[in-house]
Structure 1
């Protein structure tokens, strides 16, 4: 088949060709009609994105775009542009290298690639930090440039339009007391939570999209003092966990032992993943999960009414946990896994430092007992109604 015939076939599949092929074909191809045409790549957003104000002062959108190659040969994703409303300039552009860091064939974390095989799908884990002063868009749309092996052409596909849900996120009080708390694996680009997409009960769920693993630093910047295999040596172990809103406890567990720190447990059943936990219904279709609590420390049971600031348990190391911490997230249903993760904000907190060296540095500190590499925030940044971003070190307000 000649290059021109392949390109004509691509036009018939609904592609917008990338120049110079598109210029070559103008004289040979009839004017495009408004008729419905097939396309070689289809896409949809799994869950409507919801904005949240981060501790950097910017609005953030975190969501997932599923792309499916409906041709029989390889597709190479080269560029993804994200547009808001009727904007002519994109809010964000991902080149091939960035796509390869964010796009997972089959939705499998750790399987990132910018390629899709024939009849294969993948999930792009996307994050848009809106420019300062830019209003949250009402809609998003996507434009993908890709190489299609079946047609031997580069083409642009427009897909995945979605409305942005602009309802206000739940406002929470502090889940812990005092200062020195670091937001592990938080919003918006750390992978352990934001890419914890699970195929459950016949569909995808991502309850942990905005989850944070709260840990605590000592005065020397370390998470632990002494033997790292002893849970009681971690600064956060046994800290009281507080109700973040008035609400009703809808589920809990209190019978699992602490894990030995240092590694995630092998062969843990999914029913034990959250360890000892509590789920708090705070109204408006939002539920708060507190996970990995200390054995025997959970003070509440299903049906209990709690007030903001009530102690509901203590920080432990139960379930799927490698060192003591409080896992907290907000979701749209009472199941810790079979739900969609919602953004949320805290009423007041102060950012005192940030580990700008990133997740690798934090993981090394957890594994080796070394200090976290901190960049002080001078002066400390007092925030209201915002979400602490990844590896921020904060002091809680009231």
Structure 2
């Protein structure tokens, strides 16, 4: 008995990945280029472990390849709860969930773009499998909100990097039945001097950190949505090692500012007893709302700032934003150089950036005329 041609030509069907982009991204300008940050969520529905080998980001309308990540590049982008955590191991186990943290750069703001993703992988026996999905449509929409500075003067270092495996960008929270990335665009602000030092004297004494006690400012007109004060500060700083607190206390003393239209600005780790505002109060850009402190889960005194779409620190999506202007004076070569208080690398000249989010590890001045000037320790305000 011969098989019908239709039956004989049927391709084998295999279980592979479910690919999803659960959050609608919005581009933001960083260092002169537009960046599109988003997460491709990957679930392995196969009965075997799968080793990702290649990811292509495609224009879904014409099949044009916009980005092509080989195995090495893809490995650096992978994270999430389904990964083993072992260095160099990118295998996704059966039933496991992983995340590809993507950051696409464009010379012009991307719009009217329909994206899809093609993920290739291999079984343990070397058999190749492939899945396509995670469709995403970018439309012309409102630009990111633009703020005045949250701090005065300088030098301030923008501590963040989307590539850090344990950074805010890659920290997922599922606390109320849905997973979110509240710190997608979070920046930790730490003050340094012209020599790259963030402390003067004993680094275990919070009072010797250059930014400790600095006034924190409202970045826009709005209304205080929440203000939590009274959480005590540890007696000593253990530089590089985070304080351990319950998850609900990770923010430390904090203020959230409601801008309307589903935008909330979060200021975290504020100094105990320094918050000058209360819930429901109207504030204007430049108003003092508190002081930089050392509360919650933190490795040292700094200001954590991010924008989210709900008035909850963890159960919300992080949104992009920009500053109206700042003076870019240099940058650190690596987070290791910053941690060792090495000299930062000055730019050839002070560059005024407008309508941008500062680049990772950039060193800024927030107060014109943005000139180079050695920063000497000053007496901290109470």
TM-score normalized by the length of structure 2: 0.87
Alpha-carbon displacement from aligned partner over 1:286-312 (angstroms, at most 9, x marks no partner): 000000011100001101100000000
Residue in structure 1 matching 2:243, options 239, 260, 265: 265
Partners of 1:77 and 1:29 in 2: CA distance: 31
Task: Tell me what 1:66 maps to.
Answer: 41
Query: 1:79: Cα distance to partner?
Result: 0.3
C-alpha change, 1:137 and 1:146, in structure 2 (3 Å) is farther
Task: Tell me what 2:271 maps to.
Answer: 294
Residue in structure 1 matching 2:254, options 277, 283, 294: 277
C-alpha change, 1:247 and 1:110, in structure 2 (3 Å) is farther
Alpha-carbon displacement from aligned partner over 1:162-201 (angstroms, at most 9, x marks no partner): 1236431111111001120000115x43341100111211
Partners of 2:308 and 2:173 in 1: CA distance: 14
Task: Tell me what 1:123 maps to.
Answer: 99
Pairwise CA RMSD of aligned residues? Answer: 2.3
1:97-108 maps to which residues of 2 (within 5 A)?
97-104=72-79, 106=81
Residue in structure 2 matching 1:212, options 181, 187, 191: 187
Contact 2:328 2:350 in 1 (8 A): yes
Task: Tell me what 2:229 maps to.
Answer: 254
Query: 1:136: Cα distance to partner?
Result: 4.0
Q: Secondary structure at the match of 2:155?
A: strand
Contact 2:271 2:292 in 1 (8 A): yes
Contact 1:237 1:325 in 2 (8 A): yes
Q: Which moved more, 1:246-255 or 1:87-96?
A: 87-96
Query: 1:41: Cα distance to partner?
Result: 1.6
Alpha-carbon displacement from aligned partner over 1:60-80 (angstroms, at most 9, x marks no partner): 111111111111112111001
Contact 1:217 1:223 in 2 (8 A): yes
C-alpha change, 1:77 and 1:397, in structure 2 (3 Å) is same
Task: Tell me what 1:30 maps to.
Answer: 9
Residue in structure 1 matching 2:347, options 357, 377, 388: 377
Contact 1:190 1:359 in 2 (8 A): no
Query: 1:117: Cα distance to partner?
Result: 1.6
Whether 1:190 aligns to 2:169 is no
Q: Which runs of no fewer than 5 residues in structure 1 stay unpaired?
A: 1-27
Query: 1:98: Cα distance to partner?
Result: 2.2
Query: 1:89: Cα distance to partner?
Result: 3.9
Partners of 2:351 and 2:58 in 1: CA distance: 31
4+ residue runs of structure 1 moved beyond 6 angstroms?
none
Residue in structure 2 matching 1:390, options 360, 374, 377: 360
**Between Structure 1 and Structure 2, how many residues are aligned?**
356
Residue in structure 2 matching 1:157, options 118, 125, 131: 131
C-alpha change, 1:397 and 1:346, in structure 2 (3 Å) is farther
Partners of 1:328 and 1:244 in 2: CA distance: 10
Contact 2:218 2:289 in 1 (8 A): yes
Alpha-carbon displacement from aligned partner over 1:348-375 (angstroms, at most 9, x marks no partner): 11111011x222322x32xxxx32x422
Q: Which runs of no fewer than 5 residues in structure 2 stay unpaired?
A: 1-6, 369-382
Partners of 2:286 and 2:180 in 1: CA distance: 30
Alpha-carbon displacement from aligned partner over 1:15-52 (angstroms, at most 9, x marks no partner): xxxxxxxxxxxxx97388xxxx7752211013112111
